[in-house]
Structures are given as structure tokens and as C-alpha cells.
A and B are shown apart, each in its own frame.
Chain A
Amino acid sequence: MIICSQWGLLLLLIAMALLLGVLILPKKDPVLPTRLIRIACISVILSYLCLSICFLSNDFNVSYVLQHSSLLLPWYYKCCAVWGGHEGSILLWMSILSMWTLVLSYQMSALQPDFGLRVLIVLAVILLGLVLFVVFTSNPFTLQFGEVASSGRDLNPLLQDPGFLLHPPMLYLGYVGYAIPFAFAMSALWLGQIDNQALRLLKPWAMLSWCCLTFGITLGSWWAYRELGWGGFWFWDPVENASVMPWLAGTALLHAVIISEKQKTFIAWTIMLAITAFALSLMGTFLVRSGVLTSVHAFAVDPKRGLYILVFLMVMMTWAFVMYISRAHHLFVNKPLYWFSRESGILINNILLFVMMLVVLLGTLYPLIIDGLGLGKISVGAPYFNETLFPIVLLLLLMMGLVIQVKWLKDDYVAVLKRAGLQLLIAFAIAMIWLTLEFHVLKPQVLLALTLSFWVIVSLCFSLYQRWHSPKSLSYWAMWSAHIGFALSIIGITITSTFGVEQDVKMQPKEVVTVKHYQVQFDKEYPLKGPNYHGTEIHFHIKKEGFQSDVYPQKRIYDVGNMVMTDADISYNLWRDIYVALGSPIGNTDWSVRLYYKPMIRWIWLGGILMTLGGGLAFLNYIRLYFGKKVC
């Protein structure tokens, strides 16, 4: 079995040699470099499979396997444990990049040969940087012979969850996906031009990455809610920020690229966004992993790795931005823009998204800057992000509702604004009535946020009504679903964070505590025994007029490593969650318990799913158009 791990390393070395070869080769004929890059990509993917085989066959001679797996771990978690640590997750990142590069290398016929070759070379440079990183600083195939008869140190129990099966690979698919728009942007700058065919091919890639990222973030938020035992959906942890920043830039990108392709303007701006999205993705995966930021997601890393990552990031970004500054003027298009058109509206929202990204970036890096200047160690609290982003999101919603109804090129602003005024009034009435009837409180900020979210929905419904009898394209439904998803998420976030109730209480058996009209009774404590853990389960009885439900939150102690974990249980429906999580035992029979009432928290993830769905439809539409064109 040791052979398998050594094959893994050998394959990486082969990939390294091939990629170096590509860079040295003359850049005239695209055939040979393309072949070499394909073989390198396949080697990296095979190397990842080798590591997976090491995990499945419990090869504890590989020290990475020893540290992140155990004999008791079910097979599907073994497959996930491959990316449970630093080395494996970087290898996963690389194999996804290889996979995307491989797919792209078969679409070369759609691009000009010069352009296509440069795209592949940029991707090869990125891949080479990572292969060097893995081989020299974080080799997952390192052998050890010290702990021979070990049964493994087990995967972190927090990660033993279905949410984790999909969450990291989804995020990585998204992050890495932005490497392709980045490569397009770089070769556009390199050649000083980008043709429409390339922009058309860029669209599905930007969309696919965005979809995966959206779904990954939604999954992550859902996983954190259930698994971390704090009952929150978002904590403004550096890693979460790292995922939301490329999302913001990527959202801007996929709107900008539509205009670039349709109207042949904003090309320099689209290129800028493509570079930014990938820069942030790189930062998302690596800066956080380099150990300079403290976070729930950080791995223990030695300084050598952090330095390599920083240098790699610096080199890539300097390269990109120097290219941009020196050559972007070739791509400027001087085309007049009418102020009341969909283009200008989208441009304004693009700027708003970019500003949001900058605000999050500042909040995330501020502690680093202050620490670097020797001014002390600080942390930026969640209220910073909430307070600054709230007004920007309101503006974003306001514009979104409007832009949906505005035509391309030029529209009659008197008619649209009149209509919009009426719709805003309707949205305001709905928000007001709903708040008063359901929550009996009128808070101005909540009312404002809800009005604007409802406005987006009203506006979408109006646009649907307008087109009721005319045929609707796939891309229309995609737009509809994604924007409705966004509005629903904002409604969910607003309601949960305003009207949620969180109580930490001490409870004894048979005691009843009331949380927001719900009577929660501590019923009985049971011992618990699972495949690789033991612990306690407590039965709670939740009662309200005409409603009752039982929940069984658990406290688990994992056999390997004695790690304690809270497994919350939730009585849920579309309108509210009752969240019960165990704290710790007090005395012989009592427990500290977290009892939360979370209204409409499901809407946040529902919105995320709708956004993903919208992105998926748009992606299908692009693919259909792409292949349609090709056949013709």
C-alpha cells in the first residue's frame, strides 16, 4: 500500500516537470503545450485518487492519513477526510483546477489560437505554483513509521456531517472556477484584445463558479447552524468573509459580462472584476490557511507555508494588476451610455457590490494591518459588518427592483418611475400589514428592509405579468429565480436577526421553560452509543396550543481524541425554528441548555437554493446557446 502513496507523489512530480516544460517551450504552436497540460492535469487528478485510496485502505504509514482518519470512520467520511486537513484540501483545490483546465482545453476551437494558448498558459502557471507548494511545503504523502499499530487519530467530529460532504468541494469548485475568467482576463490584457467569442465562452464559466460558490456558502451556513451548536447562520468569521468576498465580486462579474457581450462596453471593467474575483478566491483559500488569521477553519500551519502562500499571492496579483494598469487602455471602448437604461442600472449595482466587497475586505484585513503596524492586537466585531453593509444592501435592493423593469439602451424614465412609485407603495403596505399582524412591532429599519425586499418581489411579479402571454426564455426564469432568492434571503435575515429569541438556561428534569409562546419541557436523560462516539441524549417536549413536538439534542464524546460535540435538535417549519442545544451538565441531574426561537431562518437557505437554481438555469441556457451556435 505504501506504493500507492509513492505513486501519488510521483504523479505530482511528473505534473511539475510537464508544466515547467510548457513554460519553457516556444509559444508558437498550441498543439504540444495543450497536450502536455492535459497530461499534467490528469496526473494531478490521479494523484488525488491515490490519496483517496490511501484513506480507504487505512494506510496509516502515510502520516496525513494517520492524523485525519481512523479505522472506525465510515467509508463515506473517509472520502471526505481527504480534504479534512491542509495538505489534502490543497490537493483537492489543485485537482479541481486540473479538471476545469482539462474541460477548457477541449473548448479551444471556440477561441482564437493565440488567445486560447495564453489562457492555457496562465492556468498552467497557477497550477505549477500550487504543485510546487504541495511538493515542497505540504506533501500529503509523507510517510511515518513511528506509530505502526495505530488505529488513526480520527477526523475532527465537527466535520463528520452530511453538510461537510458537500460544503468544501462546492466552495472549491466555485473558487477555482474563477481561475478561468482570470485566465481569460490575463490573455485579453496580454494580447490587448478580447473577441466576442471569448466573452461568450466566459459567461458559462463565470456562472458555473457563481452557482457552486452560492450553493457552497448556503451549505456552509446551514452546516454552521446545525453543527456548531450556537444556532447562528453567519458569524463574520474571517473564513466566511473570505467566501463572501469572491461571491460579491463574482456576482458583479456575471452581470458585467452580460453587458460586455451584449453591448461591447465595460470590457475593461469586466476584466477588472475577473481579476478581483480570482484574487479574492486565492485569498479565501490560502490567506486564511496560512495561519495569519485566527478562525474556526484555520489549520495549524508552519510559517514556511504562510510565507510561500503570501509570496505566491503577491506574485500573481502584482502580475495581474501591472498588466491591467499597463494594458487595459487597449480594451477601453468609448461608447455613450444613456443614464436611464438597464446598463447604467447594472453598472450602479456593480459598483455597490464592489463597495460591499471592499467594506468586508477592510473589516477582515484591518486586524492584520494594525498588528503589522505594531499597534496592538484587535478584532473587528460582527456589528461593524452589519452596520456598514445594511445601508448598502438597502440601496442595492432599491436599484434591483428598478433595474428589473428598465429596458436595455434607453427607457422612458417618467413612466417607469411613476410605476415604480406605485409598486413601492404596495410593497410598503404589505410590509407594514405583515409586521403589525405577525410581530406587533414596527421598527423603522426592519420596515425599510422589508419594504425594499418586497419591492423586488413585486417588481418581479409585475415583469412576469407584463410578459404573461409572450414566450419567456430560460434566461428570464433564471433571472427571476435568482433575484427572488436574494429578496427572500434578505427577508429571512432581517426577521431572524430582529425577532429571534435566544435564551441560555439551567434546566432540571421535568422543568418547563417558555420561549416565545412555546413551552419547552426537559423530559428525560438517556445514555447514547453511536458507531464512533458515546454520550447523552435528552428528550425535550415542545408544546403550544394545537402544536406539539419532541426534540432529542445530544452531547457526543468521540472515542478517538475524546472530543466533545454538541448535536442540536430543531423543531422546524417554514415559519420558525425551535432550536435546542445542550450545554454542559450542572450537578447530577441538571443541564445548561440553549433554547432559541428563530423565525423564518429557513428562508435564508431557501433563498440561497433559489439563487443557485437561477444560476443553474442561466448556465444551462448558456451551454445550450453555445452548442447551438457551434452546430450551426
Chain B
Amino acid sequence: MKTFRFSRFAGTVVAVVALSGLLPGGVEAGAAEGKRMFDAKKCGDCHQTEGPAKAKTIQDQLATKGPELWYAGSKFKKEFLGKWLKDPKPIRFMAFNSLTKKNPADHPQLSGKDVDEVTEYLMSLKSKDVEEGVVTPDKNPKNRNIFEKKQGCYGCHPVKRGENILGGLTGPTLIGAGERLNPAWVYAYLKKPKVFKPVKRMPVYVDILSDLEMKGLAAYIGTFE
């Protein structure tokens, strides 16, 4: 009886230790496989995966071929990333860095376990400048007012109003932003633009919007369907 109890206890201990070791190890292994896949498919030819930001001038920025991904794990929501890699629908209406060409919608797509592994890899690319949990999605009219009236954000970013699509075409779409973006990253991007993208077509709002307004804006964008 004692032997049975001991072996059951030992078995449980072994299982717990094995699992606790395996789970994070599994994620790490997935991320490592994802990186191998990312490199094999030459995704790095278009996407920067190691910080800090490199493009410091307009010429530098125009020479880049795709969005920086070195903070992808802080920017995107994991569920979105997995879906998008499988079925990459354009996030920008215009081709990257172009004001004259439409997005050709020709981003390579992944399938099978590559999707999960590349997602794990991209989600492992975190930025220390994004403080998790500081913004909660919130439709407060004050936040809407900042987005639509105090600043005309939809002047560049497409948004959905009812069944209609409104706004400009040069900014990444904010349709579905609640599903796609981590609102804490949106706040950090507004607060520390030089960290994430020193040169970008969006104006710098530091010292124009208050900290509270930036949080409100990020919270409002976090509700976008």
C-alpha cells in the first residue's frame, strides 16, 4: 500500500516536473522552428526582426520593403497573427511605402504547422517599451471625440461606420483593429514613436495629445470591429 502511494506520488511529481519543463520548452521549440521557417522563406528580406529601429531618414524608410516585425509580439494579438499568416488579407490599401500603387495583395501565405510555429516566433519578438495591460478597450465618447474630432485620424486610416468604409487610404486599416492590435502597443506607439518608427507618414503626437488622450485613443481603437 505504502509502495503504491509512493509510486503514485512519485509519478505525479515526475509528470508535473515534466509538464512544467515541457510546456515552455514546447513554445520555445515552436518559436525556434518558426524562426527557421521565417529565415528559409527569406521573410527577413522585407521584415526587420531585430531592434532597435534602423530607418532614421525618409530615404531609409522608403528603402524598406515591409513593416518592421521586431516588436510583432507586442503589437499583434496571437489569434489574429495565426489567422492572417494562413490567409493574408491586405492591412494597407496602398502598396507598402507607395502613394501611387494599390496593395497587390500578394503576401506569401503559410499552412499547416508552419502557421503555428511562425506565429510562436513572431509572438516571441517583444518590446520592453510596451507595458502590458495599461489599456483596456473602451468606447467612451471622449475617446471617440479624440479620434474623430480633436484629430482626424480617419483622414489616413480606413474605418468602418455601420456598413460603410470611411477615411483615407495611406494608413494601415483600423477596420478590425480590436482583433488585430494590442491596445497597449497602440498607446506605446503614440507615446514613443521614435522607438518603434522614427520616420513614418503619421504625425508625431507627443506634446500634442496628453498621456490620458493617448490612452483613450488606444482604448477606442481597441474596440474597432
A and B co-occur in one complex:
no
